[in-house]
């Protein structure tokens, strides 16, 4: 089988995975505390070609590309004032903790609300936790002291969906600060995402053209050259 087909196809598969990440970034361009993802592409091991008659080295042949790993950019984003009493943002390092049905998860999205039982919850109804691991309660004035909201240092944080992360929380309060009435901006840059999307689509189309060209060449080899 023509090796070029596999090389072109592997490049197209890599670009499809990259486009999924870019599309997710675009969809979360206005999500508070969102962290953008980056796909790191690499090549499969090269195949060393040699002359079968003499054994002389001819050179290396690439075997296509692949997504080696996905990296989440954890860079803190600028804060914007909202004036909402139940909005919170992290200045510096740290994560909020919420109690989900799957266990404790962490987030930088501090767009919280009040539950019917008087506790602070995220947009999905998960209870926001204090530093003691207990749900944060809202005062009679409808406000929450920023120091009552837990702030955790999380090692090996990785995304699990819905702006939540999973990892190992260290003991003690994180070195950052919690600011009330503000939200952290999204880590997604729509302009950069659109440029990356266009570049990825062009690379994908190039792979399609390569496959089409190879297919036509093989067709001629079988139907025209083979008939001579």
Where do the structural domains in the chain lie, given as residue ranges?
Answer: 3-73+188-227, 79-184
What is residue 33's three-state secondary structure? coil
Residues 6+ apart with CB under 8 A from 60: 46, 47, 48, 49
List, edge to edge, every strand of the sheet that includes 120-121.
113-114, 120-121, 127-128, 96-100, 103-107, 164-169, 154-161
Task: Say how far apart CA 118 and CA 139 lie, in whole Å.
Answer: 8
DSSP string, 132-190: TSSBPBPPTTS---GGGS--B-EEEEEEEETTEEEEEEPSS--SSEEEETEEEPPS--H
Print pLDDT tens along the chain (228 aa): 577 788 888 888 888 989 999 999 999 999 999 999 888 877 666 656 666 777 777 666 666 777 778 889 999 999 999 999 999 999 999 999 999 999 999 999 999 999 999 999 999 999 999 999 999 999 999 999 999 999 999 999 999 888 899 999 998 999 999 999 999 999 999 999 999 999 999 999 998 998 899 888 888 777 776 565
Residue 127's contacts (CB-CB under 8 Å, 6 or more residues apart) are 98, 99, 115, 119, 120, 121, 135, 136
Residue 21 near residue 159 (C-beta atoms within 8 A): no
Strand partners, 81: 182
Diameter over CA atoms, the chain: 92
């Amino acid at each position: 089988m023509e090796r070029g087909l596999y090389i072109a196809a592997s490049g197209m598969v890599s670009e499809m995975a990259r486009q999924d990440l870019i599309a997710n970034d675009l969809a979360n361009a206005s999500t508070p505390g969102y962290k953008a993802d980056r796909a790191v592409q690499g090549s499969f091991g090269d195949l060393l070609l040699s002359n079968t008659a003499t054994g002389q080295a001819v050179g290396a042949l690439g075997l296509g590309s692949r997504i080696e790993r996905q990296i989440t950019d954890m860079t803190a984003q600028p804060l914007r004032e909202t004036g909402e009493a139940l909005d919170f943002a992290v200045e510096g390092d740290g994560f909020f903790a919420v109690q989900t049905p799957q266990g404790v998860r962490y987030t930088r999205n501090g767009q919280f609300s009040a539950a019917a039982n008087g506790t602070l919850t995220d947009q999905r109804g998960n209870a926001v936790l204090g530093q003691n691991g207990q749900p944060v309660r809202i005062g009679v004035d409808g406000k929450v002291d920023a120091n009552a909201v837990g702030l955790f240092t999380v090692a090996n944080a990785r995304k699990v969906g819905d702006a939540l992360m999973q990892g190992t929380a260290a003991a003690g309060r994180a070195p950052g600060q919690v600011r009330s009435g503000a939200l952290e901006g999204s880590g997604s840059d729509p302009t950069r995402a659109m440029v990356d999307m266009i570049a990825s689509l062009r690379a994908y189309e190039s792979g399609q053209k390569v496959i089409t060209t190879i297919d036509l060449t093989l067709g001629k080899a079988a139907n025209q050259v083979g008939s001579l």
